[in-house]
């Protein structure tokens, strides 16, 4: 099975894109912190982050005007002194900043709405075969 499988839903309908997230090549952000960029519609950056037990994001994450939205898939995310477990949805507003960490390890699914100045080219997030 390939990491990405694209096929039409029906005659003339847009294609369905299905991929196995764990087979998307990760980007090492820092010690114990991996990000997988997923293909998405224009103007939206979609990603999955895995943080190993005991890791901390390597820098303060500062958000522009559109902020960031995160869903905790598994594990526990610590923001300041607050702990968030699986099933928690977090919305960081525009202009906010944070530096997440975890004791147990965590997988996050997130998205950022991009401004025109930050938009990526359509091929920048295409899946690898």
Q: What is the pLDDT of residues 20-63, one digit of tens each?
A: 999 999 999 999 999 999 998 888 899 999 999 999 999 998 88
Question: What percent of the chain lies above the pLDDT cut of 70?
Answer: 78
pLDDT, residue 9, reads 54
Which band of pLDDT confidence, cut at 50, 70 and 90, is reported for residue 127? very low
Q: Which H or E run includes 106? A: strand 106-113
Average pLDDT, integer, range 86-109: 95
User: Residue 43 forms beta bridges with which residues?
Assistant: none
Residue 47 neighbours by CB distance under 10 Å: 20
Torsion angle of C-alpha atoms 75, 52, 22, 113, degrees rounded to 10 = 70
Domains and CATH numbers, the chain: 26-118 (2.60.120.10)
């Amino acid at each position: 099975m390939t990491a990405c499988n694209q096929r039409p839903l029906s005659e003339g309908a847009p294609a369905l894109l299905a991929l196995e997230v764990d087979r998307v090549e990760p980007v090492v952000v820092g010690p114990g912190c991996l990000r997988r960029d997923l293909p998405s519609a224009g103007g939206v950056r979609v990603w999955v982050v895995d943080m190993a037990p005991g890791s901390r994001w390597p820098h303060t994450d500062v958000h522009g005007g559109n902020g960031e939205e995160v869903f905790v898939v598994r594990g526990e995310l610590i923001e300041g002194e607050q702990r968030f477990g699986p099933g928690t949805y977090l919305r960081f507003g525009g202009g906010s900043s944070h530096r997440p960490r975890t004791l147990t390890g965590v997988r996050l699914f997130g998205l950022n709405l991009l401004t025109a100045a930050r938009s990526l080219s359509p091929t920048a997030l295409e899946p690898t075969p």
